[in-house]
Each structure stands twice: as structure tokens, then as C-alpha cells.
Chain A
């Protein structure tokens, strides 16, 4: 018959190691509960920890996209309202020009109309030189100074850069942050004038000069104004589309953010229900092993010998 004997010291060592092991497991579960995070160090779950790092990186970059999108939104709103004002100015000038094109007007009346048109043109140039939310030129692309410079004769030349530049909105999406002056003031080829401001200057000068040329100038001016209005309306459509695009990407970013935080909770958060259940189980086993150890340790043959 084979007997398996256990030495006394081995029994005590094994029992104390088992009880210490159970205790440290219970303490680990309790720490998980109080921290709310399942992963204390990366080695607890390397794959999960790496996923969490990537999610947190995407989160922090997405926060910056929110700021950029808000900036783009504000600039585009400013552009939109400026274009609306431009359209109002052009409508007023169209009324005045229609009056001036009437052959029954006197030269003096036409000249005063021309002065008013020149005044409105000055306002338009000032509007074209307005600032955006960062202090740069709203219609000047990426330059820091004025979009249009006016020389002593009153001619306005564009002094900005070719494009307005893109703002990143996240996920590789961009939006062009504004319009440059030529993009909505330029008249198509064959209309006689390069842009609307030059056409208006020619119109105002012609009306103020008077004579038969004034009526001709008024009629040319009407044609140019119609084309200019078309350009402005087209530009307004473009800006409206861009604003809608920014809204779309904002909505998508919010959805992605919600998905990311759901995944973060899944991967790294403590599931309270199951952790509490495991803790209860471990504590029950710990109590049982402590009680059985006490019972076994009190058994000794020496106490029975006398």
C-alpha cells in the first residue's frame, strides 16, 4: 500500500502560500473596482492597453479638429454676410444705373448718380478689405495686409495671395477657409473690364463726365453689373455649400467620438457586476480555506497521547 506522507513544515508553508495567494487576488479585484479601470499597467493586457492608447490619441486629435472646425465656421459665416452686403450694394447700384440709362435725364442728374455710385464703390472696397476672426484679410487669401490696395487715381488692385488655404477637419477632410477677392469680383472675359470694381469705376467716371458717352457708360455698366451679380450669387452658393460640409463633418466627428468612448469603456473599463461577483467568490474561498487550515492545524497526535 503506498502512503503519501506530508511533512509538517511543508503543510504550513503550502497553506500560508495558498491563503496569501487568495488574499492578493481579492485585493487585486478590489483595486480594479475602486479604480474603475481594468488595466493598471500595460502588461495586464498588452493588446487592450495598445488599443486604449490609440483611442486616446484619436480623441485628443479630434478635440483639435473641433477647434479648427469652429474657426472655419466663423470665417465662412463672415464671408457669407459680407457677400450678402455686396449683393445689396450691387442691387442699389443697378437701380441707380437704370435711372442713369434713361435718356431723359440731365447731365447734372447723371453726374450726381455717378458720385453716389463712386461712394458706394468706396464702401465696397472697404468691405472687401474687412478682417476675419484671426485678424487677417477676409478676402485676401493668406496675406496679412489689405486685400485690395487703392492708388491715388482710385484704381483697386488685388494684393493678396492666390488661394485662401485649407483647414483640416480631421479624418483627412479639409475645407477651404474663405474666398479671395478675384474669386467673386472677377468678370468673365469679353466683358471689357477685368473685375467688378474696375467696371464700377469706369461707370462712375463715365456718368460724372457727362455727355453722350454717359448713357453708353450706363448701359455698359448694367451689363457688367448683371454679370457681377451672377458671380456674387455663385460665390454665396459656394460658401453655403462649404458651411454645410463643415456641419456634416462635425456631425460625423461627434458620432465617431461617441463610438470611441463606448469602445474605451468596453476595452478598459471595469465591469462592476462581474468583478463584484468574482470578488464575492474569492472571499468565500478564502474564508473556507482559512477555516479548514485552522481545523487541520489543531489536529495532532501528541494531544491524544498521554
Chain B
């Protein structure tokens, strides 16, 4: 028989000491970001009988098999995926709300209604100088609001692209760090503290990356990770110890597209579907569409008014000059007021004389504006943006709920529960005390043997 009471007791005390250390580590890191709860895995030391002693009863105590990280790969992947979706929805809603504020708060709609009203008022007395001046001032206000809306939309676009550039810098930094972690993981011994803290770092980097872009990961046998952007068929971003570089190109209408360079000869296009980068890209697409519609409304308004102006005569019996300037086609940013004086408004048809109170041309202008209906088009544009914002907000709230559900599920497994750790403290303390008693018993037995004379 080759078991030794003293060494069995000693191994028990040692194992209990290690388990207590692990418990204390958990308690100390209960609020650390990205910390995964550790637990000590203990296993029996088994020893077989030796030569000539087959069938022996030999017991050798307990040993620490390893420190286990309680993190499920699936749950972590779920947290990354849902987190990327929620981040995309967040970024998109924020961008779209800014677009809505730019168009709505510049008050273009009210200015267009005011211009329409001033024309209607002019019908009552077409030769009145004050009513004509009112028309010119309403037109000036309307041109001003169009210019403000266009520059506000440009500012929103610039802000979104600036934030996207910043996010890309972060993605590149995180990918570089992930590559370095990969290198160290390849060298770390299995189940050592070195490896567990590196694994924690790796998972935390992956989670931070998923806030910016959706990632597809493949964990290799040696715990290093291979990272692709934008789904399993996307371009390679991190492999082994090398990381690629994500870049952004801006198109003519302000929309952005992404490409990864460094692994292939030419840069590979990345179609991102999650994360804040994808959200900002989608918001920029909508911004470009809104800007184009605003420009076409300005063009409709200005072209209709100018056409009616050239078809009539002013009170001075001169041909009407264009009221709006800024080139054809007119855009919201380039629209200007070309007539400074109310005397240039052509209310009378070409067949009337000087100082005629015939308002036929003015009525024709009002009819043309009524059928082209740029005011109704502006209302439709505002309704379109606000409907989109409302829809995306509902989506965002739902995605947030799903993401927090995945987080809770991961934390239930990987997070530290202080009550559980308190129970462990009591348990391993008792185990330590019991192993100490075992050693005491071994000493007593030995003393008994020594006391034989």
C-alpha cells in the first residue's frame, strides 16, 4: 500500500488554498469589464499499482487540473451579433433624426406656404406696391430657408463621415491589438493564467469590434482567432499575427463604401451589414436621397415661377424677367433671388397695356404652381423622413431589447454572482479546515507509532 495520509492531507489543503484564491480573484474582479468568471477544476490523482503490486489500493489525493473560464462560445457570438445589430440601428436612427431636424427646423415648408399666400394676396390688387414688395420678401425668405436646409444637410453629412472615419481608426487599432494577442496566445501554455487572461482580452477586443462592424470569427485549435468583416464571406481582417487595414471611400453624392487592404493584392470591398459603420453608411444613403428631393423641389418652384414671369409684362410694359436665379437646374444651395424690386413682377398678360390691373398672368402662375404642387411635395418629403425615423426607432428599440437579452444570458453564465462566491468561500474554507484535520490525524498516528517502546 503506497498511500500516504500526510501527503493526501497536504494535497487537499493545497487544492483548497488554490480554490480560495480563484474565488477571491472572482470577487475582486466582479465589476471588471469583460472579465469571465473562473472556477478551479479539481481532479483525483490516480496512481496504478506498480510491478509486482498489481491489485494494490493506492490513493494519492487531489490535484488542480486547471482554471476554467466559464464562457460559452455560442453565447459570446450571440452577444456580438445582436450588439452589432443594435449599434447599427442606433447609429442609423441618430443620423436620420439629424436629417429630419435639418429639413424640418429650417422651416422650408412654412416659407413656401408664405410665398404661395403672398401671391394669392397680390391677386386682390395687382398694381399695389406694398403687396408686390410682400411677394419679393416672401420669395427672399423662401430662398433663405432653402439655402439653410441645404447647408444643414451638408453639415449632417460631414458629421456622419467624420464619425465614420473615427470608427474606422478604432477598428484598425483594435484589429492590430487582436493580431498581437493572437501571437501571444499561440505561445501560451494551455489552461495557464497567462492563457486565461489573454482569452479574456481576445473576447473583449472582439466585443468592442462588434460595436463598430459586424464580424465573423473562427477560433482555431490553439485559441487564436481569424476575423472577417461583414459576414463569413467577407474580406479577411485578422489572421494569425497580421492585421489588415480598413479604409473608406466617399462617393460624389456623399455616400461611403468600405474596403480592406493588406491581405490581397488589391483592396477587397467589405459589405458591412452591422455595427455603427453600417448604420452611418445607411443614414448617408438616405441623406443623399433627401438632398436630391429637396433640390428637385427647389427646381420645380423656381422653374414654374420663372416660366410664368417671362410670359407676362410688368406694369412698366416691359417683358417679365426671371424671379429666381442660380442656374438651371436649380438646387436648394444655389437658389438666389434675381429680382430685387416688386415692380418687376409680371402680373399682366402680354396683351395688356401699361399699369394694367389684369391679373391673368398671375392667375396662370398660381394655377401652374397648384398643379406642380411643390408645397405638397415638401409635405410628402417631410412625411417620408419622419415615417422612416419612426420605423427605424421601433426597429432600434426591438434590437436593443434582443441585445440586452443576449447580454443577460451571457452574464448569467460568465458574470460573477457575489452570493455564489460567498458560498464558495465557506465551502473551500471548510475543505481547508478538514484537510488540516487530516494532517493532524496523520501526525497523531505517527506519534502513536513512535511512542511504542
Contacts and interface: CB of A to CB of B under 8 A. Distances in A.
Interface of A: 4-10, 14, 17, 41-47, 49-50, 53-54, 56-57, 60-61, 63-65, 67-68, 71, 134, 136, 142-144, 161, 165, 167-168, 300-302, 305
| Chain B interface main SS type | helix
Interface stretch (B286-294, B323-331, B351-359): B351-359
A17 B403 CA distance: 13
Nearest to A300: B418
A17 B404 contact: yes
B73 interface: no
A203 to B, nearest CB: 34
Nearest to A72: B124
A50 B379 contact: yes
Given A50-B382, A50-B383, A7 B357 contact: no
Contacts of B361: none
Contacts of B124: 67-68, 71, 167
Contact of B30 (A9, A167, A305): A9
A54 B379 contact: yes
Given A43-B389, A49-B382, A71-B124, A8 B416 contact: yes
B31 A9 contact: yes
B57 interface: no
B411 A10 contact: yes
A54 B425 CA distance: 70
B422 A165 contact: no
Interface stretch (B97-105, B188-196, B243-251, B431-439): B97-105
Contacts, number: 137
A101 to B, nearest CB: 43
B430 interface: no
B125 A71 contact: yes
Contacts of A161: 356, 358
A42 B386 contact: yes
B232 interface: no
A3 to B, nearest CB: 10
Contacts of B358: 142, 161, 165
A196 B411 CA distance: 103
Nearest to A8: B418
Contacts of A60: 113-114, 117
Contact of A7 (B100, B110, B383, B411): B411
Contact of A41 (B31, B386, B415, B419): B386
Interface string B300-321: 0000000000000000000000
A189 to B, nearest CB: 28
B423 interface: yes
Interface in B115-142: 116-117, 120-121, 123-125, 127-128
Contact of A302 (B121, B127, B418): B418
B422 A302 contact: yes
A300 B110 CA distance: 61
Given A4-B412, A67-B121, A167-B123, A53 B109 contact: yes
Given A50-B382, A50-B383, A67-B121, A144 B419 contact: no
A8 B417 contact: yes
A64 B30 contact: no
B261 interface: no
B395 interface: no
Nearest to B400: A17
Given A47-B383, A142-B359, A302-B418, 6 more contacts: A9-B416, A10-B415, A14-B408, A42-B385, A71-B125, A134-B128
Nearest to A71: B124
A71 to B, nearest CB: 5
17 contacts: A5-B420, A7-B416, A8-B415, A8-B416, A10-B412, A14-B408, A41-B97, A43-B385, A43-B387, A53-B109, A57-B375, A61-B117, A142-B356, A144-B355, A300-B419, A301-B418, A302-B422
A41 B382 CA distance: 11
Contacts of A144: 127, 355-357
A142 B100 CA distance: 47
Given A9-B411, A53-B109, A305-B425, A136 B357 contact: yes
| 5 closest Cβ pairs, A-B complex | A7-B415, A42-B386, A43-B389, A301-B422, A10-B411
B85 to A, nearest CB: 18
A141 B37 CA distance: 94
Contacts of B117: 60-61, 63-64
A14 B403 CA distance: 12
Interface in B402-453: 404, 407-408, 411-412, 414-420, 422-423, 425-426
A53 B386 CA distance: 13
B30 A43 contact: no
Contacts of A300: 418-419, 422
B393 interface: yes
Contacts of A143: 353, 355-357
Contacts of B417: 5-8
Nearest to A53: B379
